[in-house]
Amino acid sequence: MASKREKEWEALARQVSEDLERERQSQVQDDDDEDDQDDDTEYYVEVPLEDSEAMLDVAEPVGFQQALPPQDEEELELDPPGPAQDLESIELQEPEEVPWLRLHPASLFVNLVPRTWKTLVGMWPLLLLVVVGGSSSEDFALADFAWVGLFLLSGVGSTVVHYLTLRYRVNGNKLEIKQGLLNRQARVIDPARIQNVGEVRNIFHNLTGLVEVRIETAGDVRTEGVLSALSVQNANGLIAALEAARGRAPRVRPEEEPEQPLLALGLGELLAFGLSKASIGLVAVVLAVGLEVIPLFSPAETASTLENLSPLAVVGGLLLTLVLSWLGSACLSVVRHFRYTLRREPDPDPRQVALASKEGLFTTRRMRVPLSKVQLVLADEPVLRRAMGFGTLNVETAGLGSIQEGVSAAELVVPMVDREELPGLTQVALPGLDVNPWRVALNPAHPRALYRMMVSGTLQGFGLSVLAVWLLPGWFALLALGVLPVIWLTRVLDWRAQGWLVTPDVVLSRRGFWRRRTWVMSRDKLQSVHLAQGPLMRFHGLGRLAVRVAGSQVVLPDIGWDQADALLDELRPLPVLELE
């Protein structure tokens, strides 16, 4: 095992050094059979199983000519792609060596802050140790600054190494990315598996006029390829080459916006979006962190302050934090979604018709989601937003998002959609949708499900009441009396809000009163169906059905076991219809 791994590593190292050599010499390479064979064997080092399997399906790697526009940087010195060849000669020849491309030199500047920050975040336990542990002695400042300096330097180092070692190209119908000095990675991505190609610009990209290209494929948690940063020209070239590798004509990207946007959000709507967000969780986190950290610095003062604090001040402080974080979250939403526009990009190829969004004040984000890749649409309508007459639409694709960005990176989020337009927009995202999810009568959850919810709610409410009596001072403990009725009411409302429907084309599920969410899943994307039943559910004869698609799932409200079992047998992916 070890020797195989070593061999792979050696081969990879040899390949990388060969390529570096080749580039330095900027010479035209002759077709070299041996060399090309090396290419084929060595590049499967880090490819996940499913990818390597899918690769077998790809057409023979014929001498694909990359349709890259001339480069403005040093790549220009490399030999430009040869003239187009006719089919016969292509099939006879070994693939011509496609030059490796690298990041734009200014990406050093672009990546410096984010990468250093990432390094710092990655080392937070060490940093914490430095800050907390070193505080007793007097040379605290100097030693700590040295440590922090060291961390910063390692961030700078990683940026430089990243820039110097990253190479990419589209070769033989596959995107190849290699990087790393000590820990070498070579990745081969089959363009047919690409779910989204996103372009992101943060403030640094905007300053330098560069763009970050993100490539997401199905079935993997990380973003497969992140290229930060490329010149706009190189980025367009790469995207065009990927399109061509998928056997499509390069998409024409007109400079001016093609047609009226489906949706454009103004400042007022974005503010309303931020304010109608549930931000209690954030408050809890801020408070918890605050309570943990403050005593670290001045334990004595904290203790005396806490003793003298009146309950009113506590409640006041809580309210203030709540309001501040509420406003803060609203501001963040405005910054993130600033000047939001959503467009439908038509295309002669029906599988390429896409939804494209553009947003952001400092970081401009563009998301483009081909409709053929949409797995499900989730409409999120928290009670406040619902009262304002709006809802949020998440269009989910199979790219699971990257570790840095969280799961939301794989979604195209439409923050504020007028209630009247929700069905229409859902229909745009899921052209197969055959019902109006907001008008159609849904099947209710099983009556026994309400009973179950009430029992579990009562237990929770009882626990909360006890906690309230124990923790709250004096008359505030009376609040405990209100807990149970509120929970009962909520459960009834929640139960009434639940509903589900299976039509020939979609699976529909709705849950939640305070935060009403409606999942609409296209049935031809179905991957598997799962049914679960705990002991209490068995007592009530209930079952919980979950329908999985790539990267997500739809859970139906609790229904009768027999009905759920029948659905398990009935739900099958439909035979894929050929698009005319």
Partner 1 sequence: MNLPETPTSLDSRVKWLWRAQSMLRVLLFWLPLSVAVAYGLASLTGQAAAVVVGLTLLGLAVLLALFWPALRYQYFTYSVREQDLLVERGVVIRRKSSIPHNRIQHVDTRQGPIERVLGLSSLAVYTAAGMSADGSIPGLATGQAEAIRDELSRRGGDDGV
Residues that bind partner 1 (CB under 8 A): 49-50, 53-54, 193, 195, 218-219, 373, 375, 398, 524-535, 538, 548-551, 553, 565, 568-569, 571-573, 576
Cα–Cα distance between 367 and 433 in angstroms, integer? 22
| Residues 128-159 as b or e (16 or more Cβ within 10 Å = b) | eebeeeeeeeeeeeeebeebeeebeebbeebb
* Nearest approach, Cβ of residue 537 and partner 1 (Å): 9
Cα–Cα distance between 415 and 510 in angstroms, integer? 19
Q: Which is nearer to partner 1, 138 or 569 (CB)?
A: 569
Q: Which is nearer to partner 1, 348 or 535 (CB)?
A: 535
Pair of tokens at residue 226 = 């992140």
Burial (Cβ within 10 Å: 0-12, 13-18, ≥19) of residue 19: middle
147 neighbors 130 (Cβ within 8 angstroms): yes
* Nearest approach, Cβ of residue 578 and partner 1 (Å): 12
* Nearest approach, Cβ of residue 352 and partner 1 (Å): 15
Amino acid at 175: L
Cα–Cα distance between 333 and 167 in angstroms, integer? 35
Strand (E) or helix (H) holding 196: strand 194-201
* Nearest approach, Cβ of residue 190 and partner 1 (Å): 12
Of 250, 204, 249, 196, residue with least CA distance to 224: 196
Pair of tokens at residue 229 = 């940063």
Which residues have CB under 8 Å from 505's CB, separation 6+?
Answer: 432, 433, 434, 522, 523, 524, 574
* Nearest approach, Cβ of residue 57 and partner 1 (Å): 10
Which residues have CB under 8 Å from 443's CB, separation 6+?
Answer: 499, 500, 501, 559
Q: Which is nearer to partner 1, 398 or 480 (CB)?
A: 398
* Nearest approach, Cβ of residue 526 and partner 1 (Å): 7
Cα–Cα distance between 551 and 408 in angstroms, integer? 11
Tell me: cis bond preceding 564? Omega within 30 of 0 counts. no
* Nearest approach, Cβ of residue 111 and partner 1 (Å): 30
* Nearest approach, Cβ of residue 569 and partner 1 (Å): 7
* Nearest approach, Cβ of residue 399 and partner 1 (Å): 10
Cα–Cα distance between 11 and 42 in angstroms, integer? 6
* Nearest approach, Cβ of residue 358 and partner 1 (Å): 25
Q: Where are the alpha helices (DSSP H) in 179-310?
A: 203-208, 232-245, 267-275, 280-297, 299-308
* Nearest approach, Cβ of residue 12 and partner 1 (Å): 25
Query: Hunting for tokens 């609040």 — which residue is that?
Result: 479
Q: Which is nearer to partner 1, 115 or 452 (CB)?
A: 452
* Nearest approach, Cβ of residue 305 and partner 1 (Å): 35
Of 529, 478, 521, 487, residue with least CA distance to 503: 521
How many angstroms from the chain centroid is the CA of residue 104? 25
The crossing angle, in degrees rounded to 10, of helices 479-497 and 447-471 is 160
Count other C-beta atoms under 10 Å from residue 1's C-beta: 5
Of 200, 232, 190, residue with least CA distance to 59: 190
* Nearest approach, Cβ of residue 527 and partner 1 (Å): 4
Cα–Cα distance between 386 and 408 in angstroms, integer? 22
